[in-house]
Structure 1
Amino acid sequence: MLKKGSKLYSILTGSCPKCHQESMYFEKNPYNLKDLYKMHETCSHCHTQYMIEPSFFYGAMYVSYGLTVALGVAIFVISNVILNFPVKPTFIAIVVGIIVLMPVTARIARNIYINMFIHYDKNWKQNS
């Protein structure tokens, strides 16, 4: 169960990593591709600045790469090892799965990356 105060809550919901009170994104739906990366500059509750430095989220590309590799391996294991698909349909499943889940992977990578640097503060109201 996801509870406020955990890294997993912030990562999966895209909420502010410091206070968990609001979404960092203008549009919660990652499949609205034109707004996929549009974020608020700061949290309206705790005033945490999301763009810590210029080009901060370029580092999320490395996280995205790792997530995409893990996703490809998971799809391979499910389709080839468990479902016994031949190689060609397995390859197609991997490509389709990665393309379909790209917006979710991109958002989760950003969420993981910012949560590596900003931590939850249960006393954020007193520290603001």
Structure 2
Amino acid sequence: MLKKGSKLYSILTGTCPKCQNESMYLDKNPLHFNKILKMNENCSHCGLHYQIEPSFFYGAMYVSYGLNVAIGIAAFIISFVFFDSNLKVAFIVIIASLILSFPFVLRLSRNIYINMFVSYDPNAKHK
């Protein structure tokens, strides 16, 4: 399921969507907040320019919105339905889960967005 060549591999690992040989990010750890959005300009293996056009990753905001809605709904269902909490506690759980998942959603939304436009090329050569 998670093998090189699949979109899911590139999305979950944050590797170049074209060759999947290196990370797109300068620092692989999303918990280093001062480097969370720092990306390489190009892939050193295949030469893919990550910033496909100016302000390319602004589109990732829409992906991030969808991911955050899904997390919020899941947090609500888990706290309100399964743990039978009141609405105030469910609201606090939603806010806490969104704050805790923020760095992961930020990176994941960028990974998903660039993978919508760039496909894996097994013949991508070093440039």
TM range (shorter): over 0.9
Q: Give 1:102 shift.
A: 0.5
Normalised to the residue count of structure 2, the TM-score between the two structures is: 0.96
- Give identity over the alignment, percent: 60
**Match for residue 55 of structure 2?**
55
Q: Which runs of 4+ in 1 moved over 2 A?
A: none
Scaled by the length of structure 1, the TM-score of the pair is: 0.96
Q: 2:113: which partner in 1? A: 113
Matching of residue 69 in structure 1 with residue 66 in structure 2: no
| Aligned equivalents of 1:14, 1:83: Cα separation in 2 | 34
Aligned-pair CA distance for 1:83: 1.5
Cα distance in structure 2, aligned partners of 1:47 and 1:30: 24
Give, in angstroms, the shift of residue 125 of structure 1: 2.3
Question: Given residue 48 of structure 2, which amino acid in structure 1 is its aligned partner?
Answer: T
Q: CA RMSD in A?
A: 1.1
Instruction: Give the secondary-structure state (helix, strand or coil) at the position aligned to 2:111.
Output: helix
Q: What is the CA–CA distance in structure 1 between the aligned matches of 2:40 and 2:101, rounded to whole Å?
A: 23
Structure 1 spans left out of the alignment, 5+ residues: none
Aligned residues: 127
**Gap regions ≥5 residues in structure 2:** none
Q: How does 1:6-45 map to 2 (within 5 A)?
A: 6-45=6-45
Q: 2:21 aligned with 1:5, yes or no?
A: no
Match status 1:102 vs 2:102 = yes
